[in-house]
Amino acid sequence: MGWKENRLYSILKGRCPVCHEGKVFTYNQVFHPGKFDKMEERCSECGHKYEIETGFFYGAMYVAYALTVALSVATFILTYLIYPPTPYWVYIINILVVLIVMAPITFRGGRMVWINLFHSYDPKAIERHQQEQEKQSS
């Protein structure tokens, strides 16, 4: 299996979980406060509807939470390794700053992991979508 067929490709590149081509998020500016959370409704390539049912993405919050915990632990360890005698409030501030700065990453990451739990790569998805559209237009 090639890299493009891998689930991680979809997650890391923010691509459709079915065809791994279409963009899930509307804007490439990951850290733009007003844009990072805007999603496409459907995949532009295979027509897959990302929010398969209302409230589907609530579950993504659990994944985002897990990512938040992992980031906090990583920040704690890094702070400790760089300067162990740091007072505890420096740990807290470091963790808060990292979590705030990385919020768009945990948000997008949570949704991308979540969406990939329910869908797998389908190399025929785009072709099938094109055939369906041709049928509709004829």
Give, as ranges, the residues between 13 and 72 that touch Zn ion (CB under 5 A): 16, 18-19, 22, 43, 45-46, 48
**Whole-number minimum distance, CB 126 to Zn ion, in Å?**
7
Closest CA to 26 of 47, 43, 12, 49: 43
Tell me, what amino acid is at 3?
A: W
State which of positions 106-135 bind Zn ion (CB under 5 A).
none
Number of residues that bind Zn ion (CB under 5 A): 8
Helices (H), 54-137: 60-82, 88-101, 103-118, 125-137
Least CB distance from residue 42 to Zn ion, whole Å? 8
Nearer to Zn ion by C-beta: 47 or 67?
47
Nearer to Zn ion, 74 or 127 (CB): 127
Rounded to a whole number of angstroms, the minimum distance from the CB of residue 98 to Zn ion is 32
Q: Which residues are CB-neighbours of 113 under 8 A, at least 6 positions away?
A: 11, 60, 63
Instruction: Give the C-alpha separation, 9 to 76, whole Å.
Output: 29
**Chain positions contacting Zn ion, by CB under 5 A:** 16, 18-19, 22, 43, 45-46, 48
